[in-house]
Copies of this chain bind each other. A is one copy, B any other.
Amino acid sequence: MAATDEAVGGRRRGRAGGGGAARRAERTAVVSETARVIERLVPTVEVLDTEALERIEDAAEQVLAEIGVNFVDNPAALARWRDAGADVQGERVTFPRGLVRGLCATAPGRFTQHARNPAKSVDIGGDRLVLAPVYGPPFVLDLDGHRRYATIADFHDFVKLGQMTPWLHHSGGTVCEPTDIAANKRHLDMLLAHMTLSDKPFMGSVTEPERARHSVEMCEILFGADFVAQNTVLTSLININSPLTFDSTMMGALETYAAAGQACILSPFIVGGAMSPVTVAGTLVQVLAEVQVAIAYSQLIRPGAPVIFGAFVTSIDMNSGAPTFGTPEASQVIFGAGQLARRMGVPFRSGGGFTGSKLPDAQAGYESANSLNTALLAGVNFMLHACGWLEGGLVASPEKFVMDADQLGALHRLAARPAVDDMTLAMDALREVGPGGHFLGCAHTQANFKTAFWRSGVLDYRPFETWEDDGAPDTRRLANAKARKMLADYQPPALDPAIREALEAYIARRKDEVADAFA
């Protein structure tokens, strides 16, 4: 599939090369095929008109001026806000109208996150769409069908699947929680996996400010300290404690990354009706207020620090309180948030292959496809959770990973506009075939069929009888076989052994500094 697609495997030119490790990798690596970042040429769906957008923006200003936000356990942040002109009472910060929006103006509209393989560096912002895998599940539904706590071995498998997936531009971050390693040490093993098992860009740790510092230091080993000082090599996920609360752990990680010029996704995590008002418009007001404060704060730390306007928003089943996914209200929030982000001129993160299902079944398919299509048409620039997500994010699934990843290939095609030119208008074919004929054998078809249609690497189109003779496999079974084959075929990208040794020595030293903690 990938080999026949023209969008895959091309090396990107005209980009500043990576550091020493990157240059060495470029010379020696077996180049694995990865599609170029999506250039979204289809128009975005604009569900809100200008008047509605302005009302939401005005209401967000009102929230910031009248209600404000809490910066918890963070006297330095309070001092920064006071100095910037905000009103600080206890931990509550309120903002004169225009202050926050004004501070956001220095955030770049677009930036490059470098990979150690420069061909896999990604542009984030504008009309680009970067796809990254699932983030955060403590459980896996493994290839033997067991739902259990995730381990570092599972983590390695997901990074390998990501490296093998041509439609995934980014290796992600916590693709699952390696719960068999101490909570205060596992970030080191996760980073090592991304750095050695993949040559795609990746994310840093956010669970303690110190772990963010470790992430940057490991990147200095991988890319060279000079390169890291001058370039963005990490994009990390900073969640906001909605409603309107900024805790010192996440803000501490943001402070570390922003000071180092590394990128952060600043993302309210909202189950609508619980952590935000039960309406689409009210949720957008809150999302905008929260994201603006976070972006403004990043610019207080370092003007020009790269950021992404994040919106993780889902709806809720008001009878059971369970979060729901792939629903129309979640789509409306994502469409609207995309419009608000574009008006601010910053990159936008949302979407993913979301589902509440416990299995990779029809529910998972409907909900994930709804979410993926919405994300593309909402103008998302960075899509976390693009593949592998199950059970409301509690579970990572290798079967779901390859199913979703297959759909990401389709998304690449859907993002393009159909070409209309002499070749595609196909007048010669229409003349050659004429009324009542068929096009399978005509010259135009023969010349173009290889690249004409997206082709699934998972789904089944065999005739019923053939499929039945083969045991009548459902999608889950087909995906299981595909995931097993990908893991069997996996080959690590080349890496300078000296760098690998230096990374391992760094990790050993850091691990020796502290006792294991599983909290």
Contact = CB atoms under 8 A, between A and B. Distances in A.
B274 A475 contact: no
Number of copies: 2
Interface string A304-337: 0000000000011111111110111101110010
Given A243-B435, A435-B243, A475-B363, A59 B454 contact: no
A286 B48 CA distance: 36
A201 to B, nearest CB: 25
Given A282-B425, A417-B47, A435 B358 contact: no
A475 B322 contact: no
A59 B370 contact: no
A388 interface: no
Contact of A275 (B356, B439, B455, B472): B439
Contact of A277 (B362, B373, B377, B426): B426
A327 B1 CA distance: 14
Contact of A43 (B46, B55, B426): B46
A274 B434 contact: no
A68 to B, nearest CB: 7
Given A68-B435, A356-B459, A429-B282, A43 B42 contact: no
A423 interface: yes
Q: Which 3 A-B pairs have the closest CB atoms?
A: A365-B365, A282-B426, A369-B369
Interface of A: 42-43, 45-48, 51-52, 55-56, 59, 62-63, 66-70, 92, 147, 241, 243-245, 272-282, 285-286, 315-324, 326-329, 331-333, 336, 356-370, 373-374, 377, 391, 394, 403, 407, 410-411, 413-414, 417-421, 423-427, 429-431, 433-440, 444-445, 448-450, 452-456, 458-464, 467-468, 472, 474-476, 479
